[in-house]
Amino acid sequence: MIRFAHLLPLLVWVSLDTAAAHATLVLGQLEVAPARPTVGAPFSLQLSLSDPTQVPVQDAVVWAELRPEDQPNAAPVRADFTETETAGVYRAETELPRTGSYGVVLRDQTYRQEEATARLEAPLRVGAPNDAQSFVFPPTATGGASWRTWLLWLIGLPVVAALLVTVLVLTRGDERPQEAS
């Protein structure tokens, strides 16, 4: 006979699995190669991402927006990162049209409904050396609200409850006393 106590661990596991699917704090470091990019020449941005326990973050959807600091309303140059063979390491190739300092905003949209943003403290300088910079993608405030989640709660849970009740009713057995002959 199935009892509620047998189902409790399953319900806890499902709720923890759902909670673990959301974005968390991500630590990152951005490096420029060559360290002194020049105008009109392609250069690489290398991004290393890990969680607070130093586990590499894989399969991230990340890009950088580079905007001249003296033109805050200018359209940004976008550099999309692709994951390398090394876990948690991403690379993007780009070039910038003029000498000067560029503000860098990194965006992580690994989860469609969430976007984490990190602005680097020091600008990227074209024609001058650049040091590696550390940053943090903060946890996002938005929860997971995909159509699969809604289907799970609106259809899946009632179906599981109905199956459970059916199994409980069918496994009770025949409790009528037997007639004496």
At 76-133, the pLDDT tens digits run 999 999 999 999 999 999 999 889 999 999 999 887 777 889 999 999 999 999 999 9
Name the strand (E) or helix (H) holding 48: strand 43-50
pLDDT band at 16 (very low <50, low <70, confident <90, very high): very low
pLDDT of residue 81: 97
- Threshold 0.75, pTM exceeds: no
- Residue 26, φ and ψ in degrees, nearest 5: -130, 130
**Residue 27: count of CB within 10 angstroms of its CB:** 16
In this structure, CATH architecture of domain 24-137: Sandwich (2.60)
Q: How far apart are CA 157 and CA 165, in angstroms?
A: 12
> Do residues 151 and 179 touch, judged by C-beta distance below 8 A?
no
pLDDT of residue 87: 93
Would you state the structure tokens that stand for residue 89, as one six-digit string? 């390491």
Residue 159 has pLDDT above 50, yes or no: yes
Would you state the structure tokens that stand for residue 119, as one six-digit string? 């602005």
> Do residues 108 and 78 touch, judged by C-beta distance below 8 A?
no
Q: ω before 76 within 30° of 0 (cis)?
A: no
Would you state the structure tokens that stand for residue 33, as one six-digit string? 């190669």
Domain map (residue ranges) of the chain? 4-19+144-171, 24-137
The mean pLDDT value of the chain amounts to 82
